[in-house]
Homo-oligomer: A and B are copies of this chain.
Amino acid sequence: MNTFFILVGRDLRLSVRHRADTVMVAGFFAITVILFPFGIGPEPGILERVGAGIIWVTALLASLLSLDHLFSDDEQDGALDLLLTSPAAPTLVVAAKIVAHWLTTGLPLTLLAPILGVTLQMPVGSAAPMMTALLIGTPTLSLIGAVGAALTLGARRRGILMPLVVLPLYIPILIFGVGAIDTTSMGFDAGGLFTVLGGFLLIAAALCPWAAAAALKIASE
């Protein structure tokens, strides 16, 4: 467990070394969310209707973009070899990286979402379900994304291959995440949808670190 915190601490330090980094994830999120009103036009009725979808799609893309470097930085400079020959179990290394990734992307996104909801003219009541859905859903994104990042590690054109591998697996989270927000803000009970999201999280937490560790072993060959 101690090892786990050492690993998480290192990744956090690397990503907060320049404070700019966390700002960047947030900035990307904000800019992309702001692109849509430009692309769609400012009509309030439509924006309001598609707001939850845009926030979720952007969260997926932000997560995807930042996952690109999850393992490849360590692979490039040889640190991955050293981590894999260290006393830390590969699964633990992967799990620590996933946690650090969520802390630097998923968590800020979750905290920022209500503010961005306002710019998309979403109803005030949607803030709470939005944050809850993101809080349950974004860790699953990091988990699944880690598998994709590990699988595509040695591959050419990772930047393009990653989305192809990962996005199909993200789609269920997107559907349920948006559904949970929309259902709640329409005044219905979305408990079932949140439960499904939680179920995804549990399954992903149980499977993904192992799958990613196995994929890493292959990549280092």
Which A residues contact B (CB, under 8 angstroms)?
Answer: 15, 17-18, 20-21, 24-25, 27-28, 31-32, 35-36, 38-41, 46, 49-50, 52-54, 56-57, 60-61, 65-66, 68-69, 76, 156-157, 159-161, 163-164, 167-168, 170-171, 174-175, 178, 182
Interface of A is mostly: helix
| CB pair A174 B35 closer than 8 Å | yes
| CB pair A156 B18 closer than 8 Å | yes
| CB pair B38 A171 closer than 8 Å | yes
Decide yes or no: A25 and B69 within 8 Å by CB, A167-B32, A167-B35 being known contacts.
no
| CB pair B41 A159 closer than 8 Å | no
| CB pair B174 A38 closer than 8 Å | yes
Beyond known contacts A40-B49, A65-B65: 16 more, CB 8 A cutoff: A28-B160, A32-B57, A32-B163, A32-B167, A35-B167, A35-B171, A38-B53, A39-B174, A40-B50, A40-B178, A46-B46, A46-B50, A61-B61, A65-B159, A66-B159, A69-B159
17 contacts between A and B (CB under 8 A): A21-B157, A21-B160, A28-B163, A31-B164, A31-B167, A32-B57, A32-B61, A35-B60, A36-B53, A38-B175, A39-B53, A40-B49, A40-B178, A41-B53, A41-B182, A65-B163, A66-B157
Chain A to chain B: the 7 pairs with minimum beta-carbon distance, closest first:
A39-B53, A24-B160, A40-B53, A28-B163, A27-B164, A31-B167, A40-B50
